Structures are given as C-alpha cells and as structure tokens.
Structure 1
Amino acid sequence: MTEESQERDKDGNEDGGRTPRRRSRLVAGVVLGALAGCLAVGAALMLLPPERPEVRPRPGPRPQAPALTTVTHGVPAALPDLVALIGDRTARVRARPQDAGSWAVLGSAYVEQGRRTADTAYYPKAEHALRTSLKVRPNGNLDALSGMAALASARRDFPAARTWAEAALKVDAGRWTTYPLLIDAYTGVGDYKASRLTLEKLQKLHSGPAVMARAAAVYWDRGWREDAAASLSDAAAAARTPAERAGWLERSGQLAWERGDLRVALRYFDRALRLDPDLRAAQAGQGRTLAALGRTTEALDAYRTALDKQPSPQFALELGELYESLGLEQAAGVQYDLLRTQVDSATEGGVDESLLLGRFEADHGDPEAAVERLRAEWGHQPGIAVADALGWALYRTGEYEEALEFAKRATDKDHGGGVRSASYAYHLGMIELALERHGPARRHLQEALRINPQFSPLHAPAAEDALRDLGEPPEEGVPEGAEWG
C-alpha cells in the first residue's frame, strides 16, 4: 500500500465523508451511466452488416486507403475501394464501439457509396453511423459534422447541409475540407455571393485537384466557361488515382456537352470509363452524346447499361425522352414508370427529388402538380435550377406572366443566373413566344441552339420549329423625317 493510500485510510474522509454505502451507490450510478452509453452504441452495432469470416489482407497498400482520401478530402474513388473501406471500418467499430472516428468515416463512406450507386438505402445507414459518432463524441467531432453536411447535400437538403457545414467551420475554421461542403450548400440555397466568397477562402487555404474542381463548378455558374474547363483539365492532370482522374474527366465531359462540343464530350466520357468502368455517370454521358450525334443504337445501349448498374431517375428521364423522340411511346412510358419507382425509393432514403420530379411532371405528367411541388421547393431552397423549373412548369399551366419572372431570374446574372444553359434559354424563349414578345423570343431560341444545337432530343427540335414559324425578323424602315446624306 502506498503512503498516499495509507493517508486516505487514516483520514477516512478523502471522498468527502461518504459512508461505504454511499460510495457503493456512486459506483452503481457510474456503472449504470456507462451501461446506457454502451446500449446506444450496441444498438448501432446491431444495424451493421453481418460479420464475415476473416480474410488475410493482401500485401501492398491497403485497398481502402484511396477511398479514405475520398471521404475525407472529397475526391472520387473507385467503387471496390469504397467497399473495402466500409468493410474495414465496420470491423473496427465492432471491435471498438467507442471509436468515434471510425464511425464517422463509416458514415461518410456510406454517403459516397450511395452517390456512386444511386442506392439511397445507404443514406439511412450513413446517418445512423454519423449520429452514433456524435453520441460517442458530442463535442468537437469535426469528421461527423462534415459527414452530416455531405449527407444532407446528397439528399438535396441544402439548408441542413449549410447548418452542418457551418457547425464544422466553428470547430476548426482552418480545415479546408469544410469549405467545399459550404460551397455546395450555398449554391443549393441560391446564395451565390456566399458561394463565391467561400471559394476565395478555400483557395487561400489549399490547392489541389479537389479545389480546382470546386472552382470549376463556381466558374461555370458565373458563365466563365473557359475558366471552368481549364480548371477541370488541371484537376484531371493533377489527380493521384485513376478513379479520381476519371471523376474529373466525367465532369469535363458534362461541361463540353453543355457548350455543344459533342465530340470533345464523348472523348472525355470514353476516357473516364476506361479509367473507371463503374462510373455510370460517364456511361449516361456517352448515351446523351451519342444520341445527339445520331448514333441512336449505341446511345440506347449506353443508357440501358448505365441504368442497369445504377438506377438513377435522371438516367431514366433521359432515356424515356430519347424513346419518345423516336416515337417509341410505350418504351418511354416504361422508363417514366421506372422513374416514379426510383423517386419513391429515394424518398424513403430521405432524398428530396422535388426538382427532378417537378421537371418530369411539367413535361410528361401533371403540370399543376409540378407547379405546387416546385413552389414548395423554391420556398425551401431557391436556386437558379429551381427558378428555371418553376418557370417552365408555370408556362405549361398557361401562367405566362409569372413564368416569365422565374425564367428571367434563372438567366439573370444579378441573381446568380450567369450560367449559359441551352435549356434555360429555350424555356425563356418559349415563354416569351407565348406572350407574343417575338423579338426576345427569337433571340433566346437562337441562343439555345447556338449554345448546344442538340441540347434535348425533344426540345431542340421544338426550338427549331418555333424559330421556323417565327420567320425572319421584320425589316425596320427608315424613321420618319430621316434623310440619307
């Protein structure tokens, strides 16, 4: 027995004069508190996938290492690496249920898995893991706060994403990985000024492919197309893994498609798929571009393969519209039914698909329902994409004056609508045509076809028909009283 313990025995009141019985009650209370915490974590463990037989790790770098960079730094990762990371962190939290860091990484990996596969059933798993991390470490848990922000963005709940990301920023304003999450959130709620200012702060803190790619998105929204393309090209060149490079190439393909550079877009999508065969967004991009180039059979094959591997409602909408443009109404209807099923599934996973469903209903379903849905979305997160969709839905219900207000907002640089979009210009032109504002209508319909002559298998031909019906602008005569010198 040490002198210190002997001294406590002599005094008999080191614990404030507590009797043995009171001390036993104190110990019992501590045990019960610890037991309650263990029960909460135990409940989380019950929801983990079943434990599999131990497999000896292969020599060389751990396969989950690249995916760990993905979930902590926001860069694309290969699907097998994500699966390996999820397996690794699942084993860790089973062995150490109080490991808040592993719970946070597991939750963030589930978020990325949901994004890559369009399987929104991963999102409740992600939320459970992230909230377990916050229970284990309620204060200063930056990884879990960032994971919750990423999850909210994946679910298209941008106000919640902003709240979580700002909470993470309060914990550590110097951690650069929080700023891309804030940029996504601010863009989603329509605060484009905050998005630009946040990018400037990010660029002062860090450089690298992830920052370049985030800058490209902000540049594109401002209408700086060349800057956006150059920034993404730099990101792809500086990528550290094939999957990361594929991710930036796929986004480069999207930008090339948006500006009508179809063959360039196709090359980007092809390169991305060679690097990462599981990147279904690139495969859908192939389908979109091949259809625009008139290679319809190849386009249908690409879309079908993408949808088979990644049941995305956006892919289903694009394939349905391609079928409809070919006069295959029954095949289009199958895709539209699939879209509704996928949206229902996404809703169960906590995803807000109001924007996509509003766009779909406006053209292929119930325009009145689209207006109601998109008005609510505008009240929740008023971004330019929602303004454009609501304006088009109002046009489809015959409310042309109000439709014009939203269509102008979507294309007004003062409100963040600097992006040059063929679809936005087409919507604005058709609304102006309905209001018999023939000059502006002609100008905006021409702009849509100039940006991308094949921007939609349904709407690009409609724009051409409308321009043909409008004819050439009338010749303006010499103003009365004017004379030629």
Structure 2
Amino acid sequence: MERLAQTEPRPRRHPASRHWRRWLLGGAVLVGVGSSLWFWSRAPVENHAEATLRQIATTTGLVLNGRLANLPSSKMAPIHRGDDQDNQAQLQLKATRQDLEQRLIRTPTPAGHRALGRFYLAEGKPLAAFAHLQLAVQAFPWDAGLQSDFGLALLEAARTSPEAATEALEAFDEALRLQPDLLEAHYNRARALEILGRPTEALAAWRAYAARDAQSAWGAAARDRAAFLERYGNAPAHP
C-alpha cells in the first residue's frame, strides 16, 4: 500500500485552468505594454517642452522675479529686454506653448496642464498659468515642485490681486513640508513674506536662502533683498 501511494500520479489540472492562467498573464502583459505606450506617446511632447524651457532659462533667462521648480541651472532675466535674443526666446516660448495647447485640447492630462502652466508663467501670464497649475495640483498634491510653481503663479497674480499672496505663501509652505530642501520654494516664500508686509520674517527667509544658495545669481539677489530690508525694513515691497 505504501508503494502504491508513492507511485500514484498527482491529479492533473483541468485544461481550462491552464488557459485561464495564460489569459490572465497575457492580459497583464498587454496592460503593461499599453500603459508604457500611453506614457511614452505623451512623454516626448512634455520632455521637449521642458528641454526648451531649460534652454531658454539657462541662456536668455526668464521674465520672472520668482523661481520655477526643476530649473537648477536657470538664471534671472536680464534687466534690459527687447533685443533680438530676447525676442527669439519669446517666440520660442510661444511656439512651444501653442504646441502644448493643441496637444492638451486633443488629450487633456494633468501632466499637460502642468507643462502648459509653466510656459504661461515663463511668458509672464500668471492668470492663465494659475488655471492650468491648479488642475495639475489637484491631481498631484504630493508634488513639491508643482506646489511651488502653483504658488509662483499666485504670487505673480498678486501684482494685480494682492490677496493672492496669502494663498501663495500657503502653497510654498506646503511645498517645503513635502520637500524641505526645495530651493525654489524657499526663494519664492521669501518674496511672498515681503509682499505680505512681514519684513522681519522676510529678512530671515532671504538670509536663509542666501546661505543655502550662495554661489548663484539667485543667491546674490537674496543677499540684495536682505540688505534692502536691513536698511529699509518698513518700505513697501515690490512684487
């Protein structure tokens, strides 16, 4: 009996179960491939847009008093604008932004809203940037760089709507809660405090930023703002 028990063949699985397992495996592979194709079909457009933004930020500079996230090599825009190089950069920004708009009309995605919002900011159009970045933040609330860009749109809008500066500060605080070392959010937060008429806090924020980013043009600007507040702490801020 023991010998028979050892040699007794194991029960065979029903053929249908093998087909079912193969169907599941094949479906998972198709889903994975489909997801990858969906991602890569959209990534080149946004990657090209970001590359354009980076190239302009590192050569001509962007017409912004604040900092867009994820442009570590960016520089401040020149004081005098309107020459051929600046005009070419603005045309390049506009052309890329229009491509993004057309793509977003056909296939709206949070990542597309984010890219388009950043281009509107780079062109100096904060209200349009706010509309797109708000949609992106709703989809990716955990993204510190996106929170900082959203706050920057609010801060730029504060030129005509001062109450937006309070919401901007909240966005920068959230960005720094998510990523405490995010330089762009530190810089933009110092601007928000100054615009809100909180010179003591702004002075501390500018000093802290200058210590974190001592070698860049942004660090030099932070030192200038700190020196200004040390001397004229109660003077009105300039957004």
* Seq. identity, %: 11
Distance 2:178 2:39 in 1: 26
Q: CA contact under 8 A between 2:172 and 2:189: conserved in structure 1?
A: yes
Kindly provide the CA deviation profile for residues 323-353 of structure 1, in whole angstroms up to 9, marking residues without a partner as x.
xxxxxxxxxxxx3332123314544664842
TM-score of the two chains, using structure 2 as the length reference: 0.60
Q: CA deviation at 1:13?
A: 7.7
**Aligned counterpart, 2:12:** 23
**Aligned counterpart, 1:292:** 81
Distance 1:411 1:371 in 2: 19
**Aligned counterpart, 1:159:** none
**Aligned counterpart, 2:68:** none
Distance 1:299 1:35 in 2: 53
- Number of aligned residue pairs: 196
From the CA coordinates, give the structure whose radius of gyration is larger: 1
Choose the corresponding residue for 2:117, options 313, 321, 338: 313
| 1:307 partner amino acid | R
Q: CA deviation at 1:290?
A: 11
Distance 1:290 1:433 in 2: 18
Kindly provide the CA deviation profile for residues 176-229 of structure 1, in whole angstroms up to 9, marking residues without a partner as x.
xxxxxxxxxxxxxxxxxxxxxxxxxxxxxxxxxxxxxxxxxxxxxxxxxxxxxx
Distance 2:216 2:129 in 1: 27
Task: Write out aligned runs for 1:46-195 (5 A).
Answer: 103=36, 107=39, 110-117=42-49
Cα gap change, 1:23 to 1:338, in 2 (>3 Å): same
Distance 2:132 2:196 in 1: 26
Distance 2:177 2:228 in 1: 28
TM-score of the two chains, using structure 1 as the length reference: 0.33
Distance 2:187 2:150 in 1: 14
Cα gap change, 1:30 to 1:367, in 2 (>3 Å): same
| 2:194 partner amino acid | Y
Choose the corresponding residue for 2:173, options 375, 395, 400: 375
Distance 2:78 2:222 in 1: 21
Cα gap change, 1:359 to 1:419, in 2 (>3 Å): farther
Q: CA deviation at 1:303?
A: 4.0
Q: CA contact under 8 A between 2:129 and 2:153: conserved in structure 1?
A: no
Which structure's relative contact order is higher, taking Cα pairs within 8 Å and 6+ residues apart? 2
Q: CA contact under 8 A between 2:194 and 2:202: conserved in structure 1?
A: yes
Q: CA contact under 8 A between 1:359 and 1:393: conserved in structure 2?
A: no
Q: Which runs of 5+ in 2 are unaligned?
A: 62-73, 102-115, 159-163
Q: CA deviation at 1:42?
A: 4.1
Q: CA contact under 8 A between 2:120 and 2:129: conserved in structure 1?
A: yes
Distance 1:17 1:419 in 2: 79
Distance 2:119 2:13 in 1: 64
Distance 1:429 1:289 in 2: 16
Question: Counterpart of 1:418 in 2: which secondary structure?
Answer: coil
| 2:179 partner amino acid | Q
Cα gap change, 1:302 to 1:117, in 2 (>3 Å): closer
| 2:169 partner amino acid | V
Q: CA contact under 8 A between 1:394 and 1:403: conserved in structure 2?
A: yes
Distance 1:349 1:117 in 2: 20
Q: CA contact under 8 A between 1:374 and 1:389: conserved in structure 2?
A: yes
| RMSD of aligned alpha carbons | 4.2
Cα gap change, 1:298 to 1:32, in 2 (>3 Å): closer
Kindly provide the CA deviation profile for residues 122-169 of structure 1, in whole angstroms up to 9, marking residues without a partner as x.
xxxxxxxxxxxxxxxxxxxxxxxxxxxxxxxxxxxxxxxxxxxxxxxx
Q: CA deviation at 1:115?
A: 1.9
Question: Counterpart of 2:123 in 1: which secondary structure?
Answer: helix
Choose the corresponding residue for 1:433, options 228, 231, 235: 228
Distance 1:305 1:43 in 2: 35
**Aligned counterpart, 1:364:** 157
Q: CA deviation at 1:392?
A: 1.5
**Aligned counterpart, 2:21:** 33
Question: Counterpart of 1:23 in 2: which secondary structure?
Answer: coil
Q: CA contact under 8 A between 1:407 and 1:427: conserved in structure 2?
A: yes
| 1:363 partner amino acid | E
Q: CA contact under 8 A between 2:60 and 2:89: conserved in structure 1?
A: no
Q: CA contact under 8 A between 2:166 and 2:196: conserved in structure 1?
A: yes
**Aligned counterpart, 2:190:** 391
Q: CA deviation at 1:396?
A: 1.8
